[in-house]
């Protein structure tokens, strides 16, 4: 349930942050234990535990804890053999961290348009963009919304292309058949950044059911040492060091014990926004039939036919001590890529959308403050 009353020392206009983590005594206890005792023979105890427990919760065979979702995507692409001259298709509306690993391996990100309703990859546009150079499709589950995995996996099967899930923002999103996001593609990546539903401060997770990919990624994440290698300081390949620390993993273990509570809280907050803003000419995160949205980041998209000034709304929110976070820019607008204004939905979304504050301890009166400002502009 949402909290209804401010504490006695709260000012009338106390800061409303767009996001912050929920840290309890459990997280503090685990982190202190890792800091005090997680060394020598115990240096991987929480890390090994976190990987196993996350795999069990997610429902996959293998996980590898990383410094972030970016590293997980990077190593997964390397393990798939994607490199110079190859192309990977993804939606134009995304954070740069989805595209950067494609560039890291020397491949080209191919930006196609997204759907108006879910803001995720449009399968029709994906199929039209496939060329002989296409080597993978990356489905990003944006702001908790779920990509059309059935359609994308069908395209992947017909063209012999692996489908990758960037599940960084979709903790708790699932299909009503029980499958969670991050379990359907050849591999997936999760983020535990401080703004996410569950956090390790910074951090991420590579997840897969493919034994070979898991073995390769585990080796890549240990500077190229294959699991079981007994020679000291011997590397079997050129690798990386995206390994999560044991102290971060301790935080992750504690957060994972609370994960259903954390997800449920995000859903409560989203429903509170929908109840207050549902009569305005705007759309909020969609929950299509057969899906459950983890609602990582509540988002409004104002209808196209409404006069709306996003910057004026952001300025008004800041004047009322409310954090405002813009919707992602189309990646093809960034200076390092080629513009693709033909991606009409992507180019229309960002000027009429913002993300709303959604941290665990936000109160009803704070949600009221946010919605009061929005009503003045929509």
Contact 221, 241 (CB under 8 A): yes
Class for the domain spanning 25-257: alpha beta
Dig out the tokens for 146 from the structure. Answer: 């779920």
Distance CA(247)–CA(108), nearest Å, equals 36
Residue range 34-47, pLDDT digits in tens = 999 999 999 999 99
Q: State the chain's mean pLDDT as an integer.
A: 96
Contacts 24+ apart (CB under 8 A), 264-271: 265/22, 265/360, 266/144, 266/172, 266/197, 266/294, 266/295, 266/296, 266/358, 267/172, 267/293, 267/294, 267/295, 268/1, 268/2, 269/2, 269/295, 269/298, 269/358, 269/362, 269/367, 270/295, 270/298, 270/358
Paired residues of 302 in beta bridges: 282
Q: What is the CATH number that goes with domain 259-375?
A: 3.90.1150.10
Distance CA(44)–CA(222), nearest Å, equals 13
Q: What are phi and psi of 292, to 5 degrees?
A: -125, 120
Residue range 76-99, pLDDT digits in tens = 999 999 999 999 999 999 999 999
From residue 116, alpha-carbon distances to 29, 134, 141, 311, 347 in Å are: 44, 25, 14, 22, 11
Contact 284, 299 (CB under 8 A): yes
Distance CA(316)–CA(313), nearest Å, equals 5
Nearest C-alpha neighbor of 190 from the set 216, 220, 214, 164: 164
Q: What is the structure's pLDDT at 13?
A: 81
Residue range 226-243, pLDDT digits in tens = 999 999 999 999 999 999
Answer whether residue 11 shows pLDDT above 90: no
Please list, in sequence order, all residues whose beta carbon lies within 8 angstroms of the beta carbon of residue 129, skipping any fewer than 6 positions away. Answer: 89, 110, 112
Contact 142, 299 (CB under 8 A): no
Residue range 266-278, pLDDT digits in tens = 999 999 999 999 9
Residue ranges of the domains in the chain? 25-257, 259-375
């Amino acid at each position: 349930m949402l909290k209804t009353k401010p504490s006695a020392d709260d000012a009338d206009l106390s800061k409303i942050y767009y996001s912050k983590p929920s840290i309890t005594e459990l997280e503090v206890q685990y982190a202190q234990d890792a800091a005090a005792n997680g060394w020598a023979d115990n240096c991987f105890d929480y890390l090994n535990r976190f990987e196993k427990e996350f795999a069990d919760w997610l429902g996959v065979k293998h996980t590898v804890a990383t410094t972030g979702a970016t590293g997980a995507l990077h190593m997964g692409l390397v393990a798939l053999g994607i490199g110079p001259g190859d192309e990977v298709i993804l939606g134009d509306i995304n954070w740069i961290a989805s595209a950067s690993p494609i560039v890291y391996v020397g491949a080209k990100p191919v930006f196609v348009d997204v759907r108006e309703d879910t803001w995720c990859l449009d399968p029709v546009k994906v199929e039209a963009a496939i060329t002989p150079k296409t080597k993978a499709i990356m489905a990003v589950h944006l702001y908790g919304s779920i990509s059309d995995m059935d359609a994308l996996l069908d395209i992947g099967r017909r063209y012999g292309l692996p489908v990758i899930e960037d599940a960084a923002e979709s903790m708790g999103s699932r299909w009503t058949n029980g499958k969670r996001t991050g379990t359907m593609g050849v591999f997936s990546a999760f983020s535990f950044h401080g703004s996410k539903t569950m956090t390790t401060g910074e951090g991420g997770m590579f997840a897969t059911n493919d034994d070979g990919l898991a073995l390769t990624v585990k080796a890549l994440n240990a500077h190229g040492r294959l699991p079981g290698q007994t020679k000291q300081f011997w590397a079997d390949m050129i690798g990386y060091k995206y390994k999560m620390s044991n102290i971060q993993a301790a935080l992750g273990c504690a957060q994972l014990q609370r994960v259903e509570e954390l997800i449920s809280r995000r859903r409560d907050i989203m429903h509170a926004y929908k109840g207050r803003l549902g009569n305005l000419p705007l759309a909020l995160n969609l929950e299509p039939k057969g899906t459950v949205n983890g609602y990582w980041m509540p988002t409004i998209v104002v209808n196209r036919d409404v006069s709306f000034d996003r910057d004026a709304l952001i300025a008004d929110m800041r004047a009322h001590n409310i954090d405002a976070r813009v919707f992602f820019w189309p990646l093809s607008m960034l200076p390092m890529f080629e513009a693709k204004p033909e991606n009409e939905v992507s180019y229309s979304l960002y000027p009429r959308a913002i993300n709303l504050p959604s941290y665990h301890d936000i109160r009803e009166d704070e949600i009221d403050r946010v919605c009061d400002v929005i009503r003045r502009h929509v």
